[in-house]
Amino acid sequence: MQVSASQSAFDPAGANAVLIDRLSSVLYIGAALIFAIVMTLAVVAVFRRASGVPTRAWVLGGGVAIPAVVLTALLAYALAVGNALSDEGPDCGTIIHVNGKRWWWEVRYEQPAGAIVSANELHLPVGRTVKLLLASDDVIHSFWVPALSGKVDMIPGRVNHLMLKADKPGVYRAQCAEFCGAQHAFMAMLVVVHEEGEYERWLEREARPAGSSTDTQAQRGAADFTSAGCAACHTVRGTSAAGRLGPDLTHVASRLTLGAGVLDNNRASLAGWISNSQAVKPGNLMPPIKVPVETLHAITAYVAGLE
Amino acid sequence: MTDSFVRTALALTGALLAWAADFVFVYVFAAIACEKGYAGKTVAGAGIVPLASLVATFAAAGVTIWLLRAAIRGRPANDSCEVFASKTKVAVGALAMIAIGLTALPALLVRGVCA
Amino acid sequence: MSSAGASPAAAAEDSLPNPLPRPQGELEALERVWKTPRGWRIFSAVNNTTIGLFYIGTALLFLVLAGVLALLMRTQLAVPDNDFLGNRAYNQIFTMHGTVMMFLFAVPVVEAVAVFLLPNMLGARDLPFPRLSAYAYWAYAIGGLAFFCTLFFGVAPDGGWFMYPPLTSYTYAPDSGADWWLLGIGFIEISAIAGAIELVVGILRTRAPGMSLAKMPIFAWAMLVVGAMIVFGFPPIILGTLLLEIEREFHWPFFIAEKGGDAVLWQHLFWLFGHPEVYIIFLPAAGMVSMIVPAMARVPLVGYRCIVAALLAVGVLSMGLWAHHMYATGMPHLSTALFSAASMAVTIPTGIQLFSWIATLWRGEVRMASPSWFLLAFLATFVIGGLTGVMLAVVPFDWQAHDTYFVVAHLHYVLIGGMVFPLFAALYYWAPLVGGRPLSERMGKWACALMFTGFHVTFFPMHITGMLGMPRRVYTYSAGLGWDGLNLVSTMGAFVLAAGVLVVLVDIALHLRVAGKVRANVWDSPTLEWLPADDYGFRSIPRVDHRYPLWARPSLADEVDSGQHYLPGTATGGRETIVTSPVEGRPQYVLILTGDSWLPLVAGAGTAAFFLLLTAKLHAPAVLGALVALGAIFRWLWATDRGATHAPVDVGDGLALPVYASGPQAHSWWAMVVLMLVDGTVCASLLFSYFYLWTVTPGAWPPAGHALPAMSSAAAAASLWLASSAALSWANHLLGRQSSKGALALAVCVGLACAVAALCVQWQGHAQNGLDPTVHAYAAAVYATLAYQALHVVVIAIMGAYTLARAFCGLLAADRRVTFDNTRLLWQYTIGQGLAIIAAVHVLPRLAG
């Protein structure tokens, strides 16, 4: 994988993740201290010679009083952090729907001119709170981009929400965090955080339908795309391909990865994926496309041109 | 100590059962209020969910304190079984009070109840 | 009591229950009646010692099997993009690893240790229902092994050990794997409930005379709380598995959102069980630690009463933590906060136990031997697990750590740290009871060192791996995410851990002998299980007046073994123990125990066959299996409830105890009460599901398109239930008055007819409205309550028929009525349940609407 993107909660780059990271540090240090104290007592207790001990103080102090105080403080702190996380912040009306599917992500950007449908990559503006509406069409998935926030499950029949604000531009990695079947391990995606102006430009490009290519191979590929059956599952806006079973491919070539974070996006990977995605992601719902080699190259050229 | 198991069991665990009733009540009340949309309602300026939690907390704490006092007061000197029972009841009561106290914090501190 | 000037020995002898010398042949008769069968006949044994050893051995076998699965998983995860295991194989393996460890190893092994240890620790000769434990064991062993074999046929479940729908429902898991899980754990549930009955009745009613609750060993307190937790904690999963299986098989949409169900309902039901389950696993281990620490430190346990209070607190508090496994599902923030609060509250009683142990160790002079080394390993590991548990209780932290390797680390720290290390300490500590000599000290130390090192090398890095972003349950991962090195380290550690376990198994194979007569208080321990014992338990049942009887009375071992305490022999020619009062431990009657028999094995095999064949869709053979099981059970029951076959027995101290009791004092009454509590909790879980669906259904209830039958039909049904109850009360009255069998039969039949009619009226009412359980979860829930009620009507019909059969064979009378009493208890419970269902389905929606 060439694209390097952080999936670490230790590298917080979003408002939520920063708050949780600070809380985590308190927890790690507190836990380490308590462990050190308790284990010192235990080891000393085991290895020293018999001696009397004010037992009431030990059991009541160490077992009841101190934990009660510490836990009350911890709970209050935890609830305060919870409050901070649910502070919605200035709502600038940016709403993005993410729908979990087996084993990919449908992403819909709500726009005044009509929703922009995409897949397997999430684009966000830096510094702005975005409302993600999370749902699933099949089984339970979970949306998790550790560098930006904690996770929220995507449960069929309900819509959960997550307020997300990225603090730094960059590329971060998200991965499904609820076991969803055969290819749960390869249901990932990249989250691209743009500078402000850049985001508007990206949205504008993404909203456009697919352009037509001047390359003859790609033009042939466009026709083969339909005859090979790709249009039954995939949509390419601006053409007759309007399938809804698989990811929207209108701008697939501009994405950083293929197959929901499995492969780098280049011609070779694309050809390999189209001809037999089962070899890369066995059990995924896209069948191998058995076509003559020239057809395969044509379709690949066409799809690789869908920037 | 009475040889009735049911009475003994209830006496020993009474305070914990008070906590359990408190917990279940607040949980169910909040869940239904959030699902059915009543959580925003207020009574005398206070949200109904925090109010319900406060009522349940006081009820459970009251029961626990009553049980604690009965256990501390009624402690006979000689019967080892009775001493065991009353000291155990005191310990259980203390644990239950801590649990009741912790359970009261959410309604007091959480801002967006249903968010 | 003793005359002044008399020697202490003579004085002690004066006040003992039975005098010396003992009559000729008394010991031989006792040995004969209790003799463990030899050769292959040992499989017909029901003695708790034999069954306990089988049980522990089988559970350890499952530890090894599931451990091998773990090594396969770690091998696959050692390097990124590995192809040692494909995704399908891996998903089955990780599901089976979790399922086998939790259901076939963890809960059974702690029950097994209790089966082996508790009677002797309490001063009883056996558990109160020996054939029941034998049956529970065989159902578990046969069923569990068959379930494990699904791996070899490629039909093992692959939805994770918690099997969340919709992934595991009929649409996304159309093949049989999920069915194997759902029905496969059916017999585990039966085993666990049977175990709970034995534990609760055994601990409360068969302690040695004088052992009041205040003097009971902490392990017994722990198992009592565990028994109660099984009673209230298992029913939600019993119900959940039934509902999911019905959804898969008949398409009743309990968990399908498009049809009014909710996937989160399964999560509630599962975790309502799942969280108590981990305490069901941990508390027995904590109880074992509380027994081993005083013995190793050679001082009494500090804070006995605080520990009892702590055990009670954990038992109750742990029932309120379940949704801390569900923080990411979108629950209201207040709800997550409540579970966070409760999860923190439960650490305090655990802390009490911890500090009591440390204080005891500090007070005493600790003998460092294998048990102590394993205890240290336990302390270090479990404390870390508990601390990460508190971290996970903090909701925002959990939102990052949930469903990652951080949780995998935490759960192994608390399960291996909190149960396996104490278990191995227990193996090394109590091994002398099995064959008279301890295991190897050298091998024990090596095992502990290897296990401790291997464990931490495996699991500590996972805390980091998880926070670096690695989710759970992934069959492989991409390179370059920072997980590669950590996974390799974890894999290496896993093999070291396995080596440590292997050393223990080799030690057991080389050094464990099973001997008949054992007298080996190797550690100079204070509690009763260390008295000289043989197949019959103790020669006489000790009179107890102290928490640490062997320290308080060094002559106790000789006294008991020479027959000077209670019941030194067999008074009726059968196996016996003494039933005592639940709180004070006052002797009440002599319990004649059932002896060795093939019937429990046959019944267990039939039960396992029923569940397994049903899953394989071989319905006719499955029914055959059920009939075999039922036949064996009835055959064995027929020989019970023999009435007072003997005059009251002189057990010693001038006490003449009857050999039979009926009514609320009878031990089987208590068993029925425990069973009804389980039953009631299943019903409560079902009503919870119904009310939950009501809560999450927007709009009216019943939902649009579904109507309630007229109130008159509900009223008619309620009256019929009450009539049925009245009929049975009448039958009870007739029995007391020694009336004719015909009258009794009439009363029972009328009662049954009313019950069936009540059921039909309700069914008819719904069917007439066109209520279809495949269309909406509301209908499914209503029919589910009726189906559960129908199951009960079938059961009481069978019990009623059985009772009448006994009456007509002259085996039922006013003074021989335990069978009737048990039937009556379940009958009245069924009526109560029927009325509760009518209230929930017919009355409450009308009141609320």
Domain positions in chain C: 46-511, 676-848
Query: By C-alpha distance, which of C377, C468, C485 is closest to C425?
Result: C377
Both A110 and A162 in one domain: the answer is yes
Contacts 24+ apart (CB under 8 A), C820-824: C820/C731, C820/C732, C820/C735, C821/C662, C821/C663, C821/C666, C821/C668, C821/C669, C821/C672, C822/C668, C822/C669, C822/C672, C823/C796, C823/C799, C824/C728, C824/C731, C824/C732
The parent domain of residue A6 ranges over 1-51+88-207
Residue to substitute from B4, B103, B113, interface C, most C β-carbons within 10 A: B103
* CB neighbour list of residue C277: distance below 8 Å, 6 or more residues apart: C102, C107, C233
Q: With beta carbons under 8 A apart, name residues in chain C contacting A164.
A: none
The answer to whether position A238 is within a domain reads: yes
Mean pLDDT of C70-93: 97
The answer to whether position A70 is within a domain reads: no
Decide if B95 and C309 are in contact by the 8 Å CB cutoff.
yes
Decide if B1 and C310 are in contact by the 8 Å CB cutoff.
no
Of A167, A186, A207, which residue sits at a domain end? A207
How many C-beta atoms lie closer than 10 Å to residue B37's C-beta? 11
Query: By C-alpha distance, which of C645, C643, C608 is closest to C629?
Result: C608
Query: What is the ipTM, given to two decimal places?
Result: 0.96
Q: How far is B84 from chain C (nearest CA, A)?
A: 6
Q: How far is C159 from chain A (nearest CA, A)?
A: 7
Flag whether residue A83 sits within 8 Å of chain B, measured between CB atoms.
yes
How many C-beta atoms lie closer than 10 Å to residue A90's C-beta? 7
Alpha-carbon span B48 to B33, nearest angstrom: 9
Tokens of C92: 């089955």
DSSP conformational letter for C571: S
CATH architecture of residue range(s) C676-848: Up-down Bundle (1.20)
User: pLDDT at position A241, please?
Assistant: 92
Closest chain C residue to the Cα of B106, Cα to Cα: C337
Task: With beta carbons less than 8 A apart as the criterion, state whether C469 and A9 touch.
Answer: yes
- Percent of chain C exceeding pLDDT 70 equals 98
DSSP annotation string for C676-715: HHHHHHHHHHHHHHHHHHHHHS-S-SSPTT--PPPHHHHH
Q: With beta carbons under 8 A apart, name residues in chain B contacting A81.
A: none
Alpha-carbon span C226 to C232, nearest angstrom: 10
Flag whether residue B24 sits within 8 Å of chain C, measured between CB atoms.
yes
Please give the C-alpha separations between residue C659 and each of B115, C132, C593, C662, C736, in angstroms, as whole numbers: 63, 20, 11, 11, 20
Tokens of A117: 């449908």
Q: With beta carbons under 8 A apart, name residues in chain C contacting A53.
A: 302, 359, 362-363
Per-residue pLDDT band for C603 (boundaries 50, 70, 90) equals very high
Alpha-carbon span C588 to C662, nearest angstrom: 12
Q: What is the CATH number of the domain that holds A40?
A: 2.60.40.420
User: pLDDT at position A155, please?
Assistant: 98
Q: Tell me the torsion sign for CA atoms A69, A74, A75, A81.
A: positive
* Cα-based torsion angle of the residue sequence C250, C252, C256, C261 in order, rounded to the nearest 10 degrees: -170
Task: Give the C window 277-306 contacts with A, CB below 8 Å.
Answer: 299, 302-303, 306
User: pLDDT at position C765, please?
Assistant: 94
The answer to whether position A78 is within a domain reads: no
* Amino acid at the residue C487: N
Flag whether residue C64 sits within 8 Å of chain B, measured between CB atoms.
no
Helix (H, G, I), strand (E, B), or coil: what is residue B40?
coil
Decide if A140 and C328 are in contact by the 8 Å CB cutoff.
no
* CB neighbour list of residue A132: distance below 8 Å, 6 or more residues apart: A95, A96, A97, A98, A143, A152, A161, A162, A163, A164
* CB neighbour list of residue C378: distance below 8 Å, 6 or more residues apart: C285, C289, C417, C418, C421, C422, C425
Please give the C-alpha separations between residue A122 and each of A150, A299, A307, C530, C558, in angstroms, as whole numbers: 16, 25, 16, 67, 79
Task: With beta carbons less than 8 A apart as the criterion, state whether C156 and C177 touch.
Answer: yes
User: pLDDT at position C11, please?
Assistant: 42
Burial B85-113 (b: 16+ CB within 10 A, else e): bbbbbbbbbbbbbbbbbbbbbbbebbeeb
Burial C48-64 (b: 16+ CB within 10 A, else e): bbbbbbbbbebbbbbbe
Flag whether residue A57 sits within 8 Å of chain C, measured between CB atoms.
no
Largest CA distance in chain C: 91
User: pLDDT at position A143, please?
Assistant: 98
Both A126 and A266 in one domain: the answer is no
Task: With beta carbons less than 8 A apart as the criterion, state whether A32 and A43 touch.
Answer: no
Both A202 and A103 in one domain: the answer is yes
User: pLDDT at position B1, please?
Assistant: 58
Q: With beta carbons under 8 A apart, name residues in chain B contacting C320.
A: 20, 23-24
Helices (H), C346-404: 347-363, 370-393, 395-401
Both A130 and A18 in one domain: the answer is yes
Per-residue pLDDT band for C186 (boundaries 50, 70, 90) equals confident
Q: With beta carbons under 8 A apart, name residues in chain B contacting A71.
A: 102
Helix or strand run (H / E) with residue A154? strand A152-154
Decide if C212 and B107 are in contact by the 8 Å CB cutoff.
no
Decide if B13 and C316 are in contact by the 8 Å CB cutoff.
yes
Mean pLDDT of C407-426: 98
User: pLDDT at position C145, please?
Assistant: 95
Per-residue pLDDT band for C2 (boundaries 50, 70, 90) equals very low
Flag whether residue A76 sits within 8 Å of chain C, measured between CB atoms.
no
Flag whether residue B69 sits within 8 Å of chain C, measured between CB atoms.
no
CA C712 to chain centre: 43
Give the pLDDT means over successive 10-residue stretches in chain B (115 positions). Answer: 84 96 96 89 88 96 95 76 89 96 95 85
How many C-beta atoms lie closer than 10 Å to residue C83's C-beta? 9
Length in residues, chain A = 307
Both A193 and A242 in one domain: the answer is no
Q: Which residues of chain A have pLDDT under 50?
A: none
Of A190, A207, A224, which residue sits at a domain end? A207
Q: How far is C783 from chain A (nearest CA, A)?
A: 23
Angle separating helix axes C235-250 and C263-297, nearest 10 degrees: 150
User: pLDDT at position B55, please?
Assistant: 96
* pLDDT surpasses 90 at C848: no
* Cα-based torsion angle of the residue sequence C307, C308, C309, C314 in order, rounded to the nearest 10 degrees: 80
Per-residue pLDDT band for C14 (boundaries 50, 70, 90) equals low
Query: By C-alpha distance, which of A179, A261, A244 is closest to A1?
Result: A261
pLDDT tens digits, residue range C556-582? 999 999 999 999 999 999 999 999 999
Flag whether residue B98 sits within 8 Å of chain A, measured between CB atoms.
yes
The answer to whether position A65 is within a domain reads: no
Decide if C399 and A20 are in contact by the 8 Å CB cutoff.
yes
Neighbours of chain C (3+ CB pairs under 8 A): A, B
By DSSP bridging, strand A160-165 and strand A257-258 are unpaired
Domain C46-511 belongs to what topology?
Answer: Cytochrome C Oxidase; Chain A (1.20.210)
Q: With beta carbons under 8 A apart, name residues in chain C contacting B95.
A: 309-310, 313, 348-349
Neighbours of chain B (3+ CB pairs under 8 A): A, C
Query: By C-alpha distance, which of A132, A143, A139 is closest to A260?
Result: A143
Nearest to B110 among A64, A83, A87 (CB): A83
The answer to whether position A68 is within a domain reads: no
Both A14 and A47 in one domain: the answer is yes
User: pLDDT at position C703, please?
Assistant: 92
* Cα-based torsion angle of the residue sequence C102, C107, C113, C116 in order, rounded to the nearest 10 degrees: -130
Decide if B32 and C695 are in contact by the 8 Å CB cutoff.
yes
User: pLDDT at position B2, please?
Assistant: 65
By DSSP bridging, strand A152-154 and strand A160-165 are unpaired
Per-residue pLDDT band for C373 (boundaries 50, 70, 90) equals very high
* Domains held by chain A: number: 2
Please give the C-alpha separations between residue C277 and each of C52, C107, C237, C681, in angstroms, as whole numbers: 21, 8, 10, 15
Mean pLDDT of C175-201: 92
Phi, psi of A98 (to 5 degrees): -120, 120
User: pLDDT at position C8, please?
Assistant: 41
Task: With beta carbons less than 8 A apart as the criterion, state whether A139 and C172 touch.
Answer: yes
Decide if C345 and B103 are in contact by the 8 Å CB cutoff.
yes
> What is the number of H-type helices and E-type strands within chain B?
3, 2
Q: How far is C589 from chain B (nearest CA, A)?
A: 15
Q: Tell me the torsion sign for CA atoms C774, C780, C782, C788.
A: positive
Task: With beta carbons less than 8 A apart as the criterion, state whether A112 and A204 touch.
Answer: no
User: pLDDT at position B44, please?
Assistant: 84
Mean pLDDT of C76-98: 97
Both A96 and A2 in one domain: the answer is yes
Q: Tell me the torsion sign for CA atoms C800, C805, C811, C814.
A: positive
Of A155, A180, A207, which residue sits at a domain end? A207
User: pLDDT at position B83, please?
Assistant: 86
Name which of C185-189, C454-458, C465-469, C591-595 the model is least confident about.
C185-189
The answer to whether position A60 is within a domain reads: no
pLDDT tens digits, residue range C296-320? 999 999 999 999 999 999 999 999 9
Q: With beta carbons under 8 A apart, name residues in chain C contacting B3.
A: 581-584, 586
Decide if A139 and C303 are in contact by the 8 Å CB cutoff.
no
User: pLDDT at position A2, please?
Assistant: 60
Mean pLDDT of C189-218: 96
* CB neighbour list of residue C411: distance below 8 Å, 6 or more residues apart: none
Nearest to B110 among C313, C333, C696 (CB): C333
* pLDDT surpasses 50 at C456: yes
Alpha-carbon span A157 to A99, nearest angstrom: 12
Mean pLDDT of C442-460: 98
Tokens of C430: 């109590």
Decide if C376 and A149 are in contact by the 8 Å CB cutoff.
no
Task: With beta carbons less than 8 A apart as the criterion, state whether C100 and C69 touch.
Answer: yes
Both A153 and A42 in one domain: the answer is yes
Both A183 and A228 in one domain: the answer is no
